Amino acid sequence: MHRSVTLLLLAWVMGVVTATAQESIDYRTELSAHTSSGTFAPHYMSANRYGTIANGSGAYLRAGAFIDMDSTRLFSYAAGIDLMGNYETASPVRKWKDGAFTTELIRPQVFRLQQLYVDFKYRAVFLSMGMREKAHENPITDQHLSSGNFVLSGNTRPTPQVQVGFHRFVDIPLTQGWVQIKGDIAYGKFLGDDYLRDHYGYYSSFITTNVYYHYKSLYFRSNPSQPFVFTLGIEDGVQFGGDIDTYRDGKLVSSTIAPITVKSFLQAFLPSAGDETAATGDQLFVYGNHVGAIDMAAEYTFADRSQLRAYTQWIYEDGSGMAKQNGMDGLWGISYHTHRRSVLSDILIEYIGLNNQSGSIPWQPTDRPGTPVSTEVSGGDDYYNNFLFNGWQQGGFGLGTPMSPSIMYNTDGYMRYLNTRVRGVHLALQGYMNNDWQYRIMASFREAWGTPFIPAREDKHQGAMLIECTYTPMKLNGWRFCGSIAVDAGNLTGDNVGIMFSISKSGTLFNFKKNDKR
């Protein structure tokens, strides 16, 4: 079914590209190679790159064709197809097979469809269908410099989805431009079932496949023409549905298929308890696994156009988090952007807190039928983990901040996050040596203590650093050369040193006569 849908969408994209192109069809190609001393790539070599780099050494070749949307037109559209060939070293996975544990070496898939989408816009309203790298559209976090958005960071491959909403902030009527609104709603289905089947240990715990996806966001912003701008919003991601197989001591003990109906999509949109067809936990609590954040940002623009910005994301997975009973948990950042090509053009520092989790103990009277204790205790939020799903992830990569190590790093076949109680800091610098040469430096330190339910036996810590240099020669239009070195040190994901080089070329495939009608 997935293949037929992909082929249908591919034919649609090509039809749009060849028959109705507005002005030009652009191309982008990239060749990248990396090597490192570890089983997995160093943190900053892998994080927030849309799932393109995972294991210690490898190379990939990407090629795509795109039509960019013209935001000045009343009606416009965009389309794109992005293909990727990939080869990486294998990673070990421990599995239970034929009555004994064995270690298998698993390689990532060689070929993938990284992006395939068609977007339409009328005035400020858009419709998007397919898979598209779009984490940079979040109004709170900076995709290039941030440690990562708590809900959707751009750390995984794009999720196939249908999305509608405002493609930009628009004025709210009767406010005379002093209050603007932006929001969107999306439904889709997660990729990565093959990854889960290949990496699951088949001895204990569970594996959940065939999972559906929902996302929504709503933001308000003050008048952007003023020096001071304030943004307030909320975003919410949901996993729902799923086929759950549970194993104990290497034996399959239960299989559950969650039915998907129209009501399922409504329950994911409006958080409520599941009906009698849902899993027991979804009936007692809220249907699906919700991961969300309340977002705020304050920005001041100086006379020279430089900007000072402070922002935060308050992470939540239930009512205790939404009521901010989880202390300082969240993303807290401050950045300064000069908007000039200077030696130091951007600086950003963030604090990441995931260690409070509303306390360590959760308790509901329904946990123990017949108990005389009626008090409820909210705690043990266990961010990114859930009792029905294999973590807030897709294809092994975490959908949220990569500062919390995802299931990709589990070589024992366990398909849940092992360290959800994390605290750390992240620093990013960016600047230009001249018009052709640009650099980026990122560094972080984090500590981890396991999960509220499975504490780590010892405190874990991890330092990481990236030094990246990019050469974009003005005399060679469309060419870009990039080299970087990354270093990890610590006992959370291990010591690691890696280097990476990439060459990319972009330009125009075809030009079309411009239509001046607006």
pLDDT above 90 as % of the chain: 79
Question: Which amino acid is residue 348, in one-letter code?
Answer: L
Per-residue model confidence as pLDDT tens digits over 388-445: 999 999 999 999 999 999 999 999 999 999 999 999 999 999 999 999 999 999 999 9
3-state percent breakdown (helix, strand, coil) of the chain, nearest 5: 10, 50, 40
Q: Are 168 and 154 in contact (CB under 8 A)?
A: no
Gap between the Cα atoms of 293 and 302, Å rounded = 29
HSE-CB for 210 with a 13 A CA cutoff: 11
Q: Are 24 and 511 in contact (CB under 8 A)?
A: yes
pLDDT score for 286: 78
pTM over 0.95: no
Task: Give the total residue count for the chain.
Answer: 518
Helix-then-strand count for the chain, H and E: 6, 24
pLDDT score for 318: 84
Task: Name 262's Cβ contacts closer than 8 Å, sequence gap at least 6.
Answer: none
Positive or negative, the Cα torsion across 49, 54, 57, 58? negative
Task: Copy the structure tokens of residue 221.
Answer: 């912003």
Gap between the Cα atoms of 260 and 430, Å rounded = 46
Gap between the Cα atoms of 218 and 458, Å rounded = 40
Gap between the Cα atoms of 155 and 153, Å rounded = 5
Task: Name 452's Cβ contacts closer than 8 Å, sequence gap at least 6.
Answer: 357, 360, 379, 380, 381, 382, 420, 421
pLDDT score for 518: 43
234's enclosing H/E stretch is strand 228-248
First-to-last C-alpha distance (Å) of the chain: 40
Per-residue model confidence as pLDDT tens digits over 21-38: 457 899 999 999 999 999
Q: Are 413 and 444 in contact (CB under 8 A)?
A: no
Domains of the chain: 2-360+379-511 (2.40.160.130)
Gap between the Cα atoms of 82 and 27, Å rounded = 9
- Tracing tokens 């029905």 back to the chain, one arrives at 388
Per-residue model confidence as pLDDT tens digits over 227-258: 999 999 999 999 999 999 999 999 999 999 98
